Amino acid sequence: MALPDALVATLALTAVLDELAVPYLVAGSLASSYHGIPRSTADADLVAALSVEHAVPLVSRLTAAFYIDLDRVRDAIQRRSSFNAIHLATMVKVDVFILKDTPLGRQEMERRKPMRLPGLPETVLHVATAEDTVVQKLAWYRLGGQVSEHQWKDVLGIIKVRRQDLDLAYVRRAAAALATSDLLDRALAESTSE
């Protein structure tokens, strides 16, 4: 079974993060496809607990397989923002978000779940929980002016698939912390009315 390009690129990058003992989690569309309704995606999102001393070893290990810029990596780490790496074999862009030093950011990393890939029993990816994926997707939806159909459908898909085991109390607290409670209420209502 051939893996989707976004997953191939993600695995190439997370293998290096594992090698450097950098905690990470898979977020974005890959996480929402895992927890909800799968969809194809042309890129990948990771959150990583990188520090300045990781910059040079990370870039030196990734350079053969990725286009990646050391100055951008250093800048992103210092500003706690993001950088991207383009996987040369697939041309998939992997956005790497530096872990925010906030209670919610730390909690999301602590709550991540290991995921074994079918056909690759030795391979483990650490994925954001369904709850954290909903919360982050709502935040991105708001940040993007509430127009991204993909973000909204991803949220609804996770709620529909995981409604029975979703920790709604946690989701409500996290959504309140990110000022997206209104969007959560709307998503919960929409997901039950369909």
DSSP assignment of 3-49? PPHHHHHHHHHHHHHHHTT--EEEEHHHHHHHHS-----SEEEEEE-
Mark whether 161 and 79 lie in a shared domain.
Answer: no
Mark whether 27 and 120 lie in a shared domain.
Answer: yes
Mark whether 144 and 50 lie in a shared domain.
Answer: no
pTM for the model stands at: 0.91
Mark whether 111 and 179 lie in a shared domain.
Answer: no
Tell me the residue range of the domain where 171 lies: 130-193
Cα(181)–Cα(38) distance, integer angstroms = 25
Mark whether 136 and 96 lie in a shared domain.
Answer: no
CATH assignment at residue 44: 3.30.460
Give residue 95's pLDDT. 96
Mark whether 21 and 117 lie in a shared domain.
Answer: yes
pLDDT digits 0-9 by tens, 52-84:
999 999 999 999 999 999 999 999 999 999 999
What is the number of domains present in the chain?
2
Cα(140)–Cα(142) distance, integer angstroms = 5
pLDDT digits 0-9 by tens, 84-127:
999 999 999 999 999 999 999 999 999 999 998 877 878 889 99
Give residue 1's pLDDT. 55
- Alpha carbon of 8 to those of 27, 40, 43, 65: distances in Å? 15, 13, 11, 11
Q: Is the pLDDT of residue 160 over 90?
A: yes
DSSP H/E element including 123: strand 120-127
Mark whether 24 and 60 lie in a shared domain.
Answer: yes
Mark whether 68 and 122 lie in a shared domain.
Answer: yes
Q: Is the pLDDT of residue 40 over 90?
A: no
- Alpha carbon of 185 to those of 33, 108, 172, 192: distances in Å? 22, 21, 9, 11
Mark whether 111 and 150 lie in a shared domain.
Answer: no
Comparison of pLDDT for 18 and 146, the residue scoring more? 18
Mark whether 122 and 137 lie in a shared domain.
Answer: no
Residue 105 in tokens: 């950011």
Q: Is the pLDDT of residue 46 over 80?
A: yes
Give residue 120's pLDDT. 81
Mark whether 116 and 137 lie in a shared domain.
Answer: no
Mark whether 50 and 61 lie in a shared domain.
Answer: yes
Give residue 194's pLDDT. 58
Which residue shows structure tokens 């994926």? 133
